[in-house]
């Protein structure tokens, strides 16, 4: 081979090496950019919903995520990395179920805990009022007893004469009795009790049993609501095809949205579990001095770093787009709730006027009854005073009669004693007379015997003188 051929071959070899180098550099840069794009896609879309999610090429999305990437994603949001959103939801469900099961022996605490979990997830004013009423009245055993006493008093008022009638049913009178006592609203629990009240105000009503049944119904309703929310987050499009009519129906995107809404709503409950599990947790001091379930306590919990960390975790899991959509949806729900609260406030003002008129009418009736009874009391007091004067005279007469009776009794006793003495003397006289009569009879017999002897002697003497 000539020198030129050798140079040409060398140049071809160098060109091939350069081409390979440029190709490798290009591939490396492409891989780096592809990884950056993939990371941005993860930031936008979040981790896969479940193992069945595939990319545009039909490959499982989860296969593209390395353990290193997963660990890096979750390093700033509390660790505990998961590869799918469903895995996170199931882990939260297991934690909550364990907490709820631990409270199974204390239904009051279980209901109070469920209300705190579900309140940020409420979608209607009625649902929100149920959870607020549970938090307000089931915080302690004493608050439960106070609410039961409130219903007992309302029942007594509703059973009073004139409380119910053609214009007001027994149930309405009971509601009025509850509202007139003031205090935190309990309309949700009141409704459950009213549903069990008989129409007849004279019927026998065990308010303690009705109250207990209402609280248990409320608790079971909250358990069912929490189960439905998790089912909504865990039901995918394929499962929706065979789901029952009352079960959630989802597409892939609606399942994403359901998961994001659920995770955002449970941020406070998850943070609280972290705080209560560690007495040295830095957020413990933020909650100190506040009673659980109160507005101040809720604001203090919302300011905890643990809550914000769980909220940031939702952005990692669901992605920025879905998370922001979930926040926007929740904001819209809150705006609707705010408008419903305004409308409810207007209704309550109207109801207050109605209650005020009803209570005023009752007050007038009670005032008239009081006037009549006061008059009767005055008359009875006058009669009582007259009777007392008569009683004193009667007592004086009785005392005089008792003195006369005593004097008469003494005289009678003396007379009886004298009579007994005379009786004894008469008895002795009768005895002497009886003895004397016996002696006289003996003498009389002796006289008759003597007379008979005389006659016999005379008879004999007369017979001897004849010839």
pLDDT at 143: 92
End-to-end CA distance of the chain: 246
Phi, psi of 165 (to 5 degrees): 180, -155
CA atoms of 158 and 152, how far apart (whole Å) = 10
pLDDT at 467: 42
CA atoms of 420 and 429, how far apart (whole Å) = 14
| Burial class (CB within 10 angstroms; exposed 0-12, middle 13-18, buried 19+) of 30 | exposed
**Buried b or exposed e, range 322-347, using 16+ CB within 10 angstroms:** bbebbbeebeeeeeebeeeeeebeee
pLDDT at 131: 92
Domain-by-domain residue ranges, the chain?
Answer: 3-74, 85-363
CA atoms of 176 and 353, how far apart (whole Å) = 12
What's the alpha-carbon Rg for the chain, to the nearest Å?
54
- HSE at residue 67, side-chain half, CA atoms within 13 A, is 0
pLDDT at 49: 86
Q: Name the pTM for this structure.
A: 0.69
pLDDT at 255: 84
Instruction: Give the 3-state secondary structure percentages of the chain, helix then strand then coil, rounded to 5.
Output: 80, 0, 20
User: Are 121 and 265 spatial neighbours (Cβ–Cβ below 8 Å)?
Assistant: yes
CA atoms of 164 and 201, how far apart (whole Å) = 8
Running along the chain, 467 residues long, what does each successive block of 10 average in pLDDT? Answer: 65 69 60 61 80 77 78 81 89 93 93 93 89 90 92 88 80 85 85 89 90 93 93 75 58 84 91 86 86 86 88 88 89 87 77 72 80 89 89 89 88 88 86 84 85 83 57
| Burial class (CB within 10 angstroms; exposed 0-12, middle 13-18, buried 19+) of 462 | exposed
């Amino acid at each position: 081979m000539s020198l030129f051929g050798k140079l040409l071959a060398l140049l071809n070899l160098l060109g091939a090496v350069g081409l390979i180098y440029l190709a490798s550099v290009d591939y490396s840069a492409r891989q780096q950019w592809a990884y950056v794009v993939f990371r941005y896609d993860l930031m936008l879309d979040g981790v896969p919903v479940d193992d069945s999610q595939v990319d545009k090429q039909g490959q499982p999305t989860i296969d593209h995520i390395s353990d290193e990437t997963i660990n890096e994603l979750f390093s700033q949001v509390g660790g505990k990395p998961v590869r799918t959103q469903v895995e996170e939801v199931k882990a939260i469900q297991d934690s909550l179920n364990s907490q709820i099961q631990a409270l199974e022996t204390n239904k009051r605490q279980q209901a109070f805990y469920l209300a705190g979990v579900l309140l940020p997830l409420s979608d209607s004013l009625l649902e929100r009022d149920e959870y607020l009423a549970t938090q307000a009245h089931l915080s302690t055993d004493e608050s439960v007893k106070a609410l039961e006493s409130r219903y007992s008093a309302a029942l007594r008022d509703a059973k009073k004469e004139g409380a119910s009638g053609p214009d007001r049913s027994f149930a309405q009178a009971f509601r009025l009795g509850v509202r007139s006592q003031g205090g935190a609203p309990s309309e949700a629990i009141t409704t459950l009790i009213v549903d069990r009240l008989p129409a007849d105000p004279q019927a026998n009503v065990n308010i303690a049993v009705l109250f207990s049944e209402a609280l248990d119904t409320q608790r079971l309703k909250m358990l069912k609501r929490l189960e439905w929310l998790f089912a909504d987050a865990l039901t995918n499009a394929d499962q929706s095809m065979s789901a029952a009519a009352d079960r959630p129906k989802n597409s892939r995107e609606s399942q994403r949205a359901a998961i994001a809404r659920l995770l955002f709503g449970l941020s406070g409950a998850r943070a609280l579990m972290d705080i209560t599990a560690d007495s040295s947790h830095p957020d413990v001091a933020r909650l100190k001095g506040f009673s659980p379930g109160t507005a101040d306590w809720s604001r203090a919990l919302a300011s905890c770093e643990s809550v914000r960390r769980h909220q940031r975790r939702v952005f990692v899991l669901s992605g920025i787009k879905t998370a922001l959509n979930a926040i926007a949806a929740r904001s819209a729900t809150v705006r609707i709730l705010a408008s419903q609260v305004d409308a409810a406030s207007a209704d309550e003002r109207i109801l207050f006027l109605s209650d005020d008129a009803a209570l005023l009418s009752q007050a007038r009736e009670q005032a008239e009854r009081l006037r009549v009874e006061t008059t009767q009391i005055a008359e009875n007091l006058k009669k009582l005073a007259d009777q007392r004067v008569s009683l004193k005279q009667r007592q004086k007469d009785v005392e005089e009669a008792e003195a006369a009776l005593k004097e008469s009794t003494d005289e009678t006793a003396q007379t009886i004693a004298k009579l007994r003495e005379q009786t004894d003397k008469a008895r002795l006289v009768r005895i002497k007379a009886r003895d004397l009569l016996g002696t006289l009879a003996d003498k009389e017999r002796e006289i008759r015997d003597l007379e008979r002897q005389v006659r016999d002697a005379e008879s004999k003497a007369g017979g001897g003188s004849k010839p």
